[in-house]
Structure 1
């Protein structure tokens, strides 16, 4: 019997792994042959990749129904990260291929990043830095400088990362509220924060809105023109989840029109920013879809993905299946 094959698919535009797949090889050892292929889209999948028994795929490399249809021997597709919206999970389920993710890596990093963006906005760190470097100052942003203990921090989605963010915000003195229609009663009591029964109720209160929900058909454009209009014009919006949860044209227009005090976006619809006009939106802090990133988190993520791929080629039970395939 030929040796099993695990294919790692990285994104040509911005590769995240290393050419030798060092971490994965340490976990998988001689149990399977490992290949690494750079692709822009799944149209670039090679015949070798399509013959693999398991696939590890990095974020931003889409795997559509058309690409999945070409997979001949694949038992599992492992998304290197929390989100799995880049993989057509329904098409994989129809083919009997399990789709798995890594939901528990980078929790600390994303929560820290959300809080860092919120703090930078509430304390106007970047405008103050720019003004100080002009070798003199008038503190022009004084009207936007806020006392944290006077503010309400609103969280959408109280999963692992949302909970970690809530605890950090609470420790800093914010009043913390959340909305998550899928949590049972009592989640608010366990964390010691206040539950809002509707998104509109949360938006009316939030001085900082921080998003921590997955991207799916229910949450795409969850925050659009109507929702932004429910926020106070002094509010800040933070997104470290998925870009298309917020309608890009709506939030940029709100910033340009002064209907929003600022936004901290680690992710943005159709990322990266596409024009100088988008990048010049007033009071926008943009980071590079990097909230998850640290030396430690990437080791944790890649180790978990490799462990799941190893289980797949050994026909062992799989962790973190997101599309209901239990083969």
Structure 2
């Protein structure tokens, strides 16, 4: 299997792919038009990326079957076009949770002790212990979590070690799960903002979360509170956050920004980073050796499973539901041509197959096929399927 890797990747991962028999082309600097050219020239079946964007032009440039995002998110990939072209998109969720949680807590501690400002003044020859000796301290403060997936969950034991009670909101959070984690579940992000001294955001970027943290949220936060975002910049309304920094004394620790560069280097001057009380890092949450090794291992697993079975672990762009309205269940002798006859009858009946499986009974003499169909199955189609002498029984069920 031909694999093109268009971002930095662990050497152990490169070696593992080659050991699995993959033909690997490693071009960590391929971006934009250069990536289109690389896909055209190499004709890879698999493309692995980290921060590199994968637009429609890349997806159409070669015979791609699978794009793997070596990270948790996948908003840098044109998933809609990939789905239209029948290209799998997969990611590596949960492998960087600890690394991101560690950075989030680093930002929280830095905001409380103003570590970056301390360092800047000391390097400038300024000794100002009288100012920087003022800090609130973290023990006993309430941490509010927006999102409680892998990273949000990794925040909880670290908060508890710091002596921080935790309130949390997530669409999927249940009372049982909250009790298991030892957190207080609240009903909305606004309630988190009202109850917390420190807010940390851990949401995937999608249509429901884009701009979710806005002016109303910051209005609900306590004056002088701390706000940390290590998820995606577009989840937060940066103008509303900037206003909260100026007007309410909010301190913000941001690892992510709207419109940040896609590559490892470049010029970037977000206005919010110039505000006093805002500490920014360079989208490095997942960038530890431990996390990158775990992510590379998972990316290799995805590729090798796909190469050997045709299945894709962690696929993100398969339909969650289909327009199928009925299913035909065919018990039949395990003979050549049975399914071909059935599918031919279905096609002539103007029906579209949505899902299909065929499993064999012990002994290998008989099998059962289940075919989910869009449309209504007519008696004529059923009779045409049953005309094959190897068909034992036909059952039609509504979905």
2:258 aligned residue (269, 278, 299): 269
Report the Cα distance in structure 2 between the residues aligned to 1:9 and 1:114, rounded to whole angstroms: 28
Q: Number of residues paired by the alignment?
A: 313
Q: Deviations over 1:123-148 (max 9, x none)?
A: 222334445564533532566x2232
Q: State whether structure 2 residue 273 is matched by structure 1 residue 283.
A: no
Partner of 1:53: 45
Contact 2:142/2:164 (<8 A) preserved: yes
Contact 1:5/1:32 (<8 A) preserved: yes
Q: State whether structure 2 residue 91 is matched by structure 1 residue 101.
A: yes
5+ residue gaps, structure 2, are: 262-266, 321-354, 356-399
Following TM superposition, by how much is the alpha carbon of 1:325 offset from its aligned partner in structure 2, in angstroms?
6.7
Q: State whether structure 2 residue 318 is matched by structure 1 residue 318.
A: no
Partner of 1:186: 176
Contact 1:93/1:325 (<8 A) preserved: no
Report the Cα distance in structure 2 between the residues aligned to 1:175 and 1:132, rounded to whole angstroms: 34
5+ residue gaps, structure 1, are: 11-15
- 1:151 is paired with a residue whose SS is coil
Contact 1:28/1:310 (<8 A) preserved: no
Report the Cα distance in structure 1 between the residues aligned to 2:128 and 2:199, rounded to whole angstroms: 30
Contact 1:105/1:300 (<8 A) preserved: yes
Q: Deviations over 1:45-99 (max 9, x none)?
A: 125467211111121x221234323342x22110010011111222222222211
Following TM superposition, by how much is the alpha carbon of 1:169 offset from its aligned partner in structure 2, in angstroms?
0.8
Following TM superposition, by how much is the alpha carbon of 1:42 offset from its aligned partner in structure 2, in angstroms?
5.9
Partner of 1:140: 131
Q: How does 1:66-85 map to 2 (within 5 A)?
A: 66-72=57-63, 74-85=64-75
Report the Cα distance in structure 1 between the residues aligned to 2:53 and 2:271, rounded to whole angstroms: 27
Partner of 1:235: 225
Report the Cα distance in structure 2 between the residues aligned to 1:153 and 1:199, rounded to whole angstroms: 13
Q: State whether structure 2 residue 145 is matched by structure 1 residue 155.
A: yes
Distance 1:281 1:251, change over 3 A: same
Distance 1:217 1:247, change over 3 A: same
Instruction: Using structure 2 for the length normalisation, give the TM-score.
Output: 0.72
Report the Cα distance in structure 1 between the residues aligned to 2:22 and 2:154, rounded to whole angstroms: 36
Q: State whether structure 2 residue 155 is matched by structure 1 residue 165.
A: yes
Partner of 1:207: 197
Distance 1:193 1:30, change over 3 A: closer
- 2:95 is paired with a residue whose SS is coil
- 1:81 is paired with a residue whose SS is coil
Task: Give 1 or 2 for the bigger CA radius of gyration.
Answer: 2
Following TM superposition, by how much is the alpha carbon of 1:204 offset from its aligned partner in structure 2, in angstroms?
0.8
Distance 1:44 1:129, change over 3 A: closer
Distance 1:25 1:172, change over 3 A: same
Report the Cα distance in structure 2 between the residues aligned to 1:311 and 1:49, rounded to whole angstroms: 25
Report the Cα distance in structure 2 between the residues aligned to 1:265 and 1:249, rounded to whole angstroms: 14
